[in-house]
Amino acid sequence: MNVGMRRTGFVASLVLVWTIAGCTSDPDPTAVQVYKFGPYTVPAGTEDTSKCVQITLHNDQPLYVNKVELTTGPGFHHSNWFFVPEHVFPGDDGTYNCDDRAFNQATAGIFGGVFFAQSTQSAHEIQQFPAGHVVKVPPHFKLVATIHLLNTGDEDLQLTPHIDVSPIRESDVTQKLTSVAFEYHPLGLPPQKQSRFSVECDLNERSQAIFGTAPDFNLYYALAHYHKYGTGLTIDAVRDDGTSSQIFTTRNAVGDSLGGMLDPMFSMSGFTKLRLTCDYFNSTDSTIYYGNGAGEMCVFLAFSDSPYIWAGGAIDEGDPGTPTDVNGVMSFQRGCQVFATDGDRG
C-alpha cells in the first residue's frame, strides 16, 4: 500500500437508483430490494475516506431483514452501514461529503443501529442470519454508510455497486437481533515484528445494572475487520475464574470474507467478559498506527438476541504503550470501556 499516494478523491456522479425486484402494484413484502448507488470512478493511486452514502428505504412499515448482500468491486475498500430515521443527517439520497451533514458512526448508532459491515476489500459479501432472525428497521428509516475507496493500481477503476436487502414477513420473525461491536484503537505495530493486541471487556457490571443478572444472550453472526498487515482476529468469552471459550476466529486474508453465521450460535450464559485479540505482522520499517489507508484496524462486530446494543473496547487514541515479548510476539494489553443501550428503535 503506497503511503504517499495522493488523496485527490474520486469522480462520483451523485446518482442513486433504487428498485424493488418483482415490483408490482401490490409488491411482495418479501421481495429482494435492490439499491444501486454511485457509479464511481476511482482514479489510479488515490484514496478517499470522506464520502458517505444515503439510501431512503421508503418503508411505511417495519422491515424485518434476514439477509443483506453487497456487491462492489476492486477499489471499494470497505463500508459500514447503519439505519437511522429519515430526519437524521438530512439531505438528498446519493453520495455526499460526510462532514457536510456532520455524520458520525456514534450518532448513527444512538438514533438507529448497525445494519451491515463489509470485510476489507471484499468485492461481494453476504450477511445471512438463521431463518426467522432479523434486524428490524422501523418505518420511515433510511440507510447511511461511510465508504472507503482505495486504488493502489496504475489504472482508473469503474464501480457500479449495489446493496440488496432481503426482508421476511413479521409473522415469520422468531428473533430480533441487535449489534455487538468492540474495537482496539491504540494500535502501534512494531516494525519487522509479529504483534498482538488484546482487550478484555467485563459485561457483568452493566448487565447487572440493567437486568439484575449476569450476561445471558446468544451470538448468531460475527465479522472481523483488519487491514493488510492483520493475520487474524479472535473473540473469546471469559468466565469469572479466567477460563474461556472461543466464540469466533478468522485467519483469512484481506479480500476474503471475514465474517459469517455462527453455527451453532454461541451462548454467553456462564460468561461475564468478552476478550478481543488481533494479530499482525508488520513487514515494513515503520510503526503502523490505527487508521485508514496505510493504517491498521482491530474491530469485531456481531449480532445477538440481547435487547441491548453492546459496544466498547480500547477506544482511546493514546500511545500504544510498552509491549511484552511473548515468544517473539510483541504483546500489548489495554483496559476496556463498555457501553450498553436499549436496542428498541420502535
**How is 188-255 classified by DSSP, letter by letter?**
EE-TTEEEEEEEEEE-HHHHHHHHSSS---EEEEEEEE--TTEEEEEEEEE-TTS-EEEEEEE-PPBT
Q: Which residue has the higher pLDDT, 346 or 248?
A: 248
**pLDDT (tens digit, 9 = 90+) per residue, 267-279?**
999 999 999 999 9
Asked if the model's pLDDT at residue 16 lies above 90, the reply is no
* pLDDT tens-digit map of 96-139: 999 999 999 889 988 999 999 888 778 899 999 999 999 999 99
User: Using CA atoms, how far apart are residues 340 and 211, in angstroms rounded to an integer?
Assistant: 11
Grid coordinates 461481494 are at which residue?
124
What domains lie within the chain, and their CATH numbers? 11-175 (2.60.120.310), 177-342 (2.60.120.230)
Render pLDDT for 280-331 as a digit per residue (tens, 0 to 9). Answer: 999 999 999 998 878 899 999 999 999 999 999 999 988 999 999 999 999 9
Side chain identity at residue 233, one-letter code: L
Cell of 20: 424493488
- Give the global pTM: 0.88
Position 7 scores a pLDDT of: 35
| % pLDDT > 70, the chain | 90
